[in-house]
Amino acid sequence: MPLTNTQVIDVLKTTFVPGLKKQLLSVGMLREVKVLVGRVEVSVTIPKISEENVKKLKEVLTKRIKDLGADQVEIHIDFKKEQQIKYPIAIGSGKGGVGKSTVSANLAIGLANLGYSVGILDADVHGPNIPIMFGVNDRPYLNEDKQIIPIEKYGVKIMSLGFLLEDQSTPVIWRGPLVTKAIEQLYNDVAWGKLDYLLIDLPPGTGDAALTVTQSLPLKFGIVVTTPQKVAVADASKSLRMFKEMKIPVLGVIENMSYFICPHCGAKSEIFGHGGGEQMSMENGAPFLGKVPLEMKVREGGDKGVPAAAMEEETETKKVFLQIAKKVAELSSEK
Ligand SMILES: Nc1ncnc2c1ncn2[C@@H]1O[C@H](COP(=O)(O)OP(=O)(O)OP(=O)(O)O)[C@@H](O)[C@H]1O
Ligand SMILES: [Mg+2]
């Protein structure tokens, strides 16, 4: 029986990459398989490994494909381009709805307004919100290296699983390994280009997605978002502990919804209490990055696709995010 593509692909699927201890097609990308008479040609792109390991991998593949009946085997291996991202930073919180996505979006725009090159990765694969907050719903294209080209708005490169879904209102129900793979791809297979900052908006809590980001992506820092009240602070501490356990330095704590600004009279009231974020940062020796007010225009902007930091109007929230962005820039370059 003549050899088939499927048989060759099965070999690729079940061969481990020396040095990475992972199966070839779980870490690499198949570019081409050609099965000709008595001859097989394979091209794959994999993460960088040593020359010695490339040699070993080629030997194993050649032998396994010859065992299937091929006389001649040619294996082309090239390496994935390493991302050139200076500061990948994850934004987490223990609790849902405290404003991680709002903070990620506005901080990204704030940093871009300071002149940095910035990207945002929506790692909330179960409920991606970043496309709505930025008001974009385009389908990204692939470049010639088969990398996804991020969508750009307000000076920020944006990537979200939301762009790749047929229908954003359908919930994504995935098990752990799929979540892991999706997040790794959103980082590795996107043409981010040279970035100063990549802000990674985590889903709430410390589940699969948060763990994948902290374990598999080369994070430089974590930022924790909390609201002022005690229960939120207690939950946010879990996220702080997760970063610490993974040996990711915490760049700081941001307190969101710190005080309400009345849209009519401009008066401030601390409806969720006072000082939770500052207390948390003190107790954990993490810098306090700032207090973001609860402002109606922020929520409206989030729903309309214009984050406060991108509005023409000089709201207090816009000012605060610019200050936080400056602090983030200062602290990240010091450490
Ligand atoms: N400072 C703020 N002022 C007004 N509205 C805000 C503020 N921060 C967040 N919101 C609003 O609160 C809601 C929840 O915020 P957001 O989606 O950013 O939270 P999240 O922590 O990312 O939530 P999830 O845990 O679901 O990912 C959104 O409607 C957002 O517009
Ligand atoms: Mg969110």
pLDDT attached to residue 330:
97
Task: Decide if 217 contacts 83 (C-beta within 8 A).
Answer: no
Q: Is 305 helix (H, G, I), strand (E, B) or coil?
A: coil
The rounded distance, in Å, linking the Cα atoms of 182 and 198 is 17
Nearest CA to ligand 1 atom 28: 299
**The pair of three-digit structure tokens given for residue 31, joined into one six-digit string:** 């570019």
Q: From ligand 1's centre to the CA of 215, what distance in Å?
A: 26
Task: For the domain covering 84-334, report its CATH number.
Answer: 3.40.50.300
State in Å: Cα 245 to ligand 1 middle.
Answer: 27
pLDDT at 172: 65
Cα(59) to centroid(ligand 2), Å: 46
Which residues, other chains included, contact 168 with Cβ-Cβ below 8 Å and sequence gap of 6+?
128, 131, 137, 162
* Residue 248: predicted pLDDT: 95
Q: Which residues form the pocket of ligand 1, taking CB atoms under 6 Å from any ligand atom?
A: 93, 96-102, 124, 129, 203-204, 256-257, 292, 294-295, 298-299, 302
Length of the chain (residues):
335
Pick the closest to residue 200 from 84, 89, 61, 73 (CA basis): 89
Residue from 102, 109, 121, 254 whose mutation best tests the ligand 1 pocket (most atoms within 8 A of CB):
102
Phi, psi of 92 (to 5 degrees): -130, 170
Res 43: pLDDT: 95
DSSP assignments along 86-100, one per residue: EEEEEEE-SSTTSSH
What per-residue confidence (pLDDT) applies to 5?
93
pLDDT at position 327, please?
98
| 87 Cα–ligand 1 center, Å | 24
Q: What is the pLDDT of residue 75?
A: 97
For β-strands 250-255 and 260-261, DSSP reports them as unpaired
CATH code of domain 5-79: 3.30.300.130
pLDDT truncated to tens, each residue of the chain (335 aa)?
788 999 999 999 999 999 988 899 888 888 899 999 889 999 999 988 999 999 999 999 999 999 999 999 999 999 988 899 999 999 999 888 899 999 999 999 999 999 999 999 999 888 889 999 999 988 899 998 788 999 999 999 999 988 887 776 666 666 777 788 888 889 998 999 999 999 999 988 778 888 888 988 999 999 999 998 887 788 888 889 999 999 999 999 999 998 888 888 888 888 887 888 888 888 888 999 999 999 988 888 889 999 999 999 999 999 999 999 999 999 999 86
Could you please report the per-residue DSSP string of 120-178? EEE--TTS--HHHHHT--PPPPB-TTSPBPPEEETTEEEEEGGGG-S-TTS-----HHH
**In the 8-state DSSP scheme, what is residue 257?**
S
User: What is the structure's pLDDT at 145?
Assistant: 79
Nearest-CA residue for atom 16 of ligand 1: 99
- Decide whether 5-79 matches 84-334 in CATH topology: no
**Where exactly are the structural domains of the chain?**
5-79, 84-334
Ligand 1 center to 100 CA (angstroms)? 7
Ligand nearest to the CA of 292: 1
Question: Alpha helices of the chain — where are they, by DSSP H?
Answer: 5-14, 24-27, 51-67, 100-113, 130-134, 176-188, 208-216, 230-245, 276-284, 296-304, 316-334
In this structure, the strands spanning 39-46 and 72-79 are parallel
